[in-house]
Chain A
Amino acid sequence: MEEYIPLLLTKYNYWVYITLMMIGLWAMIAKNNLVKKIVGMNIFQTAIILFYVSIGAKYGGTIPIIQHGPGHGHGAAQIKALAYINPLPHVLMLTAIVVSVATLGVALALVIKIHRRHRTLEEDEILEQLRES
């Protein structure tokens, strides 16, 4: 038991991301309502973003904006990589956030289209209607 405590403490961000991701995944598979599934999908995607942002974190680092930049090109030599948080995961996650909102838009458009035809958002009721027709 002793050796698990540091493991829990040093990586707690990772445990939370796994929890959230599994909540989202579970909702996408098990929920019956289409909008609930989409909520689950967004939670799922945000969890991955949390994972990436956690990769970028760095003890002793500040936000990745160079503070005393005197302008164009001078004095850049003294910038130390250890002083700033890793910016690359942030860049990647900006992309992922935008992708997730784009997916959300398309998913909701499809939901509205389905509702137009079936007048319900419950998957089992839609399947029932399809079986009858």
Chain B
Amino acid sequence: MSEQYPALIVITPLLAALLVSAAGWLRPRLCFPLALAGLGAAAAAATGLLVQVLATGPVTYRLGGWEPPWGIAYYVDNLNAVVAALVAWVALFNLVASYRAVMTDYPEKIGPYYTLYVLAVTGMLGMVVTGDAFNLYVLLEITSLTGYALIGLGGGRAPLASLNYLFLGTIGASFYLLGVGYLYIVTGSLNMADLAKLLTPLYGSLALLAAFAITLVGLWMKMAFFPLHAWLPNAYGFAPAPTASLLAPLMTKVMVYVMIRIMISVFTVEFVLQEVLVGQLVVWLAVAAMVAGALFALGQRDLKRMLAYIVVAEVGYMVGGAWLGNRLGMTGAVLHLINDAVMTFCVFLAAGCIYQKTRGTSFEDLRGLFKKMPWTMAALAAGAMAIIGVPPTGGFFSKWYLIRGGLEAGHWGFVGALLFSSLINVVLFFRVFEIAFFEPSGGDDSHGGHGGHEEHGGAVALAEAPLSMLLPLMAAALGLIALGLATGPLVQKLILPIIPAGLG
């Protein structure tokens, strides 16, 4: 069975999604358990695969039994395995947390909602484990389409935000497809490992450079890297809460993973460092992303939108770290990818809990929340500390690596921007906590129109989010600290073996 883990990671959620869809038409009550079983199996398979990869080294899996350049193959090393496990577990926890929110907001559409939810996770897991450039495009489209629908489901401005995301996302995915086409026309292959071999003699060709540029621009569009980030704040800000806490932590991280994969496994680091002369420019774009993300976040009066802009800044950290061109920077980028998925999940889920109780996440809705929802706010504080980079949490260590990478590369702008954006994060979260701690709770009537069934009661009455949301939230908050404590083994065992030797 263990040699089939790579296939099971993707197949179990896919089959589960189909069963959920069927159950949605016949027995809607079965949808959630089926989705839970599917994602649980995927998480188990991903964990098994991670253990296997750590024990025996990279795993190759041939789909359909065809050998790689002709058939599609999975190639799973430490990087894939750890990102796959991360995606599977975060999605599983979020699924548990989403139950109440979906039941209250979309009771009639549980079936299609969970179908798309599980399909989105399937697509992300597939993208992470695949070793075929074109296969990645198909899976990317699955994830994107589900994302558009899950975001567009929200009320108010959500459909427009989703349509904008669709336009930019389609341009991004099409650019990626075009880049793959360029690689195909100069090499005749689609398999990543095969491509890496065939591309070496072609370094210096203009077509290759264009392929690299187009692919990267496409991916940047998908991950909302700075000048191409316009879709993200609205899409994640107006999305329904369970959707936002699924996509915001995972989608951008998976795209960063894909970028790193393309950089180190299809094109080699030698190509990236020597042939591409704009590496410095990319780091400066990352600097701009961090600064702009932080500044835009300052201007927001809504928790979810503020968090969305923080995501924009975080993407800048990872892309910048990956492009610094040294081992420390790359290590920091990968480590930050892991930490950031968990901390973004933590804060977005906390925002979801708040929305579940107050039916809004604007700063006015946060008043007095420390008294009403102490556990949620404690978890939000843990997430905030990780995003700021306070020592026991993982965020501190990944920033530490990034800063050391920046110092080693002599890139003072990157270091400065990183510190600046951390500082702004302090201000941002301090402002949130000030409102939540000191200001008295708002009146009941202000949001009576949205969800009349919630009774606020007295100003100090405890109105905590349901346990099914609180437990995943606590798990995420504890996970942040656990990740911080596990930084040493994480870097030594998982990350260092995959950093290519060519990095200085």
Interface residues of A (CB under 8 A from B): 25, 28, 34, 37, 41, 44-45, 48, 51-52, 55, 88-89, 92, 95-96, 99, 102-103, 106-107, 109-111, 113-114, 117, 126, 130
B174 engages A114 (CB within 8 Å): no
B160 engages A106 (CB within 8 Å): no
B167 engages A28 (CB within 8 Å): yes
B171 engages A44 (CB within 8 Å): yes
Minimum distance in angstroms from B311 CB to a CB of chain A: 22
Q: Which of B146-187 contact A (CB under 8 A)?
A: 148-149, 152, 157, 159-160, 162-163, 166-167, 170-171, 174, 177-178, 181, 184-185
B145 engages A102 (CB within 8 Å): yes
**How far is B152's CA from A107's CA once the two chains are assembled, in angstroms?**
10
Q: Which residue of A lies closest to B148 (CB)?
A: A106
A-B pairs with the 3 shortest C-beta distances?
A113-B159, A110-B163, A99-B141
Given contacts A34-B163, A51-B181, A52-B184, 13 further A-B contacts (CB under 8 A): A28-B171, A45-B170, A48-B177, A55-B181, A95-B134, A102-B141, A103-B145, A107-B148, A107-B163, A107-B166, A110-B159, A110-B166, A111-B163
A37 engages B157 (CB within 8 Å): no
**How far is B152's CA from A111's CA once the two chains are assembled, in angstroms?**
10
Question: In the complex, which residues of chain B have a beta carbon less than 8 angstroms from the beta carbon of A45?
Answer: 170, 174
Minimum distance in angstroms from A106 CB to a CB of chain B: 5
**How far is B166's CA from A102's CA once the two chains are assembled, in angstroms?**
12
Question: In the complex, which residues of chain B have a beta carbon less than 8 angstroms from the beta carbon of A103?
Answer: 141, 145, 166, 170
Interface flag for B138 (CB, 8 Å): yes
Minimum distance in angstroms from A22 CB to a CB of chain B: 12
The A contact surface, by secondary structure, is helix
B181 engages A110 (CB within 8 Å): no
B174 engages A110 (CB within 8 Å): no
Question: In the complex, which residues of chain B have a beta carbon less than 8 angstroms from the beta carbon of A99?
Answer: 138, 141
**How far is B185's CA from A14's CA once the two chains are assembled, in angstroms?**
12
Minimum distance in angstroms from A50 CB to a CB of chain B: 11
Question: In the complex, which residues of chain A have a beta carbon less than 8 angstroms from the beta carbon of B190?
Answer: 88
A106 engages B166 (CB within 8 Å): yes
**How far is B178's CA from A48's CA once the two chains are assembled, in angstroms?**
7
Interface size class of B (residues with CB under 8 A): 20 to 34
Q: Known contacts being A95-B138, A103-B145, is A114 close to B159, with CB within 8 Å?
A: yes
**How far is B170's CA from A28's CA once the two chains are assembled, in angstroms?**
10
Question: In the complex, which residues of chain B have a beta carbon less than 8 angstroms from the beta carbon of A28?
Answer: 167, 171
Q: Which of B264-289 contact A (CB under 8 A)?
A: none
Minimum distance in angstroms from A38 CB to a CB of chain B: 8
Q: Which of B179-209 contact A (CB under 8 A)?
A: 181, 184-185, 190
Question: In the complex, which residues of chain B have a beta carbon less than 8 angstroms from the beta carbon of A95?
Answer: 134, 138
Q: Which residue of B lies closest to A115 (CB)?
A: B159
Q: Which residue of B lies closest to A96 (CB)?
A: B177
Question: In the complex, which residues of chain B have a beta carbon less than 8 angstroms from the beta carbon of A51?
Answer: 178, 181
**How far is B138's CA from A106's CA once the two chains are assembled, in angstroms?**
16
Minimum distance in angstroms from B481 CB to a CB of chain A: 40
**How far is B163's CA from A92's CA once the two chains are assembled, in angstroms?**
26
Option from B149, B162, B163, B171 in Cβ contact (under 8 Å) with A25: B171
**How far is B148's CA from A111's CA once the two chains are assembled, in angstroms?**
12
B184 engages A89 (CB within 8 Å): yes
Minimum distance in angstroms from A88 CB to a CB of chain B: 8
B159 engages A44 (CB within 8 Å): no
A106 engages B149 (CB within 8 Å): yes
Question: In the complex, which residues of chain A have a beta carbon less than 8 angstroms from the beta carbon of B171?
Answer: 25, 28, 44
Question: In the complex, which residues of chain A have a beta carbon less than 8 angstroms from the beta carbon of B162?
Answer: 110
Question: In the complex, which residues of chain A have a beta carbon less than 8 angstroms from the beta carbon of B138?
Answer: 95, 99
Q: Which residue of A lies closest to B185 (CB)?
A: A55
Option from A37, A55, A89, A109 in Cβ contact (under 8 Å) with B167: A37
Q: Which residue of A lies closest to B155 (CB)?
A: A117
Q: Which residue of B lies closest to A28 (CB)?
A: B167
A44 engages B152 (CB within 8 Å): no
Q: Which residue of A lies closest to B178 (CB)?
A: A48
Q: Which residue of B lies closest to A41 (CB)?
A: B170
Give 24 pairs: A residue, B residue, CB < 8 Å, sorted on A.
A34-B163, A41-B170, A45-B174, A48-B174, A48-B181, A51-B181, A55-B181, A55-B185, A96-B177, A99-B138, A102-B141, A102-B145, A103-B141, A103-B145, A106-B145, A106-B149, A106-B166, A107-B148, A107-B163, A107-B166, A113-B159, A114-B159, A114-B163, A126-B160
Q: Which residue of A lies closest to B151 (CB)?
A: A110
**How far is B171's CA from A37's CA once the two chains are assembled, in angstroms?**
12
**How far is B167's CA from A117's CA once the two chains are assembled, in angstroms?**
20
A117 engages B166 (CB within 8 Å): no
Minimum distance in angstroms from A86 CB to a CB of chain B: 9
**How far is B173's CA from A44's CA once the two chains are assembled, in angstroms?**
11
Minimum distance in angstroms from B18 CB to a CB of chain A: 16
